[in-house]
Amino acid sequence: MKSARYLLILLSLLPSLAMAQPGVFWPHEMTAKEQAHWPSFLQDYAKDLGTPPPGPVRLMAEWEEVQALVITWTLYPAILTEIVRYAVDECTVIIVTNDQLSVETQLQTAGIPLDNVEFLPVPFNSVWIRDYGPWTIYQGQVDSLSIADYIYNRPDRTSDDVIPHQVADYLALPLYSAEAEPYRWIHSGGNFLRDGLGNAWSSDLVLRENSGKDGREVAEYARLFFGVDDYRFLQRLPYDRIHHLDMHIRTLDEETLVIGQYPEGISDGPQIEANLAFIRNHYRTPFGRPYRILRQTMPPDNGSYPWNGGDYRTYSN
C-alpha cells in the first residue's frame, strides 16, 4: 500500500464517443434503453466485492492538494489540451484514451511536455468520469491511500463502471467497492458532495435508486466505505433530468456552499430555495457554525429555462 498522498480529481468534460462502441454517443442522463433495463439491472447486478475497508476511513474533499488528475480524452482536443497544459505544472495527468499516439502528438504540437503525463488505455463508454470514476479514501486521515467505489447508475455502461477498478490496478492501490450484498449501493459522483471531514450531501435520488433500502442503510454504506458520519439528503429538482446535487450546489470549503439561483418563481428556483431553507434550518459546518452561502445565477438557454424547453444550464458543476 502506498503511504504517500496520491490524490485523484475526476473531471467531467464534454460528451464523448464510446471507446468500446465507436460511434455510440452516451448522454449524461440515462437513455431510454437504460431505463428499460433498469429493473433487471437492479435484480441481476452482483460482484464479489462487498467488503468494506478494515477500519475507519476519510474521504478527501475536492479542494485538497492533488498529485494526480484523471481525465478521459474525447473529441474536444482544444479544451482538453488547455486542461493538460496547466495541470501538468501541478500534478501528474492520467489520460484514459484509446489512441495514445494521437494524444501525444496533439500535446507535443501544442508545446506541452509529456514528462508528467501518463496514459491508461482501457475501455470506456462515456466521458462522465465525475460520475463513474474512483474515489480517494484514507485510513489514518491522510495516510494509507485506497480507492472506494459503488455501482454506477447507468445500466448499459459497463466499461465506465469498471474504470475505478482499472485505476486502482494501474496505481497498485487497494479497492473497496459497495457492489455486492449486504453493501450493494447504486450511486453517481455528481450526486455525492463531501467536505473531507465526515459530512456528505446527495439529492434523494440516491434513495430512489436504492429501492428496498432506507436512508439509514444507505448512510451506513457511506460510513463504512467512505467515512461519512453525517449523510445529508436534499429534495431532487423537478426539471433537472439527472437529479445530481452538483447541478445546483457546490462545496467550496468546509464552511462555504455555492447554490444556484433562478429568478423568483422560475423553473427549479422554488425547490432550490426550499433546499436552501432546509440547509439553514437543519445543518451546521463541521465547526458548528452556519454555512456561508454564495449565490450563483442559473443561466437560461437562449432565453428559455428548463421548464419551458430550454437545456439545463448551470455553473455549479
Q: Where do the domains of the chain lie?
A: 8-191, 236-317
Element of type H or E holding 273: helix 269-282
> What per-residue confidence (pLDDT) applies to 181?
82
**Residues comprising the chain, all counted:** 317
In this predicted structure, the answer to whether residue 134 has a pLDDT above a threshold of 50 is: yes
Query: Mean of the per-residue pLDDT values for the chain?
Result: 88
Element of type H or E holding 215: helix 215-226
- The 10s digit of each residue's pLDDT in 258-268 is 999 999 999 99
The third-level CATH classification (topology) of the domain covering 8-191 is L-arginine/glycine Amidinotransferase; Chain A (3.75.10)
**Residues facing 149 on adjacent strands:** 177
In this predicted structure, the answer to whether residue 199 has a pLDDT above a threshold of 50 is: yes
Torsion from C-alpha of 276, 280, 281, 283, nearest 10 degrees: 110
Backbone angles phi, psi at 270, to 5 degrees: -60, -40
> What per-residue confidence (pLDDT) applies to 93?
96
In this predicted structure, the answer to whether residue 215 has a pLDDT above a threshold of 90 is: yes
* CB proximity list for 230: less than 8 A, separation 6 or greater: 198, 199, 200
> What per-residue confidence (pLDDT) applies to 44?
64
User: Around Cβ 157, how many Cβ atoms within 10 Å?
Assistant: 24
> What per-residue confidence (pLDDT) applies to 39?
73
- 109-118, 130-139, 284-293: segment of lowest average pLDDT: 130-139
6: pLDDT confidence band, cut at 50, 70 and 90? very low
Tell me which residue has cell 494521437. Answer: 102
Which 8-state DSSP code applies to residue 60?
A: P
223: pLDDT confidence band, cut at 50, 70 and 90? very high
Cell of 20: 468500446
Tell me which residue has cell 458548528. Answer: 288
**Residues facing 230 on adjacent strands:** 199
* Predicted structure pTM score: 0.86
In this predicted structure, the answer to whether residue 4 has a pLDDT above a threshold of 50 is: no
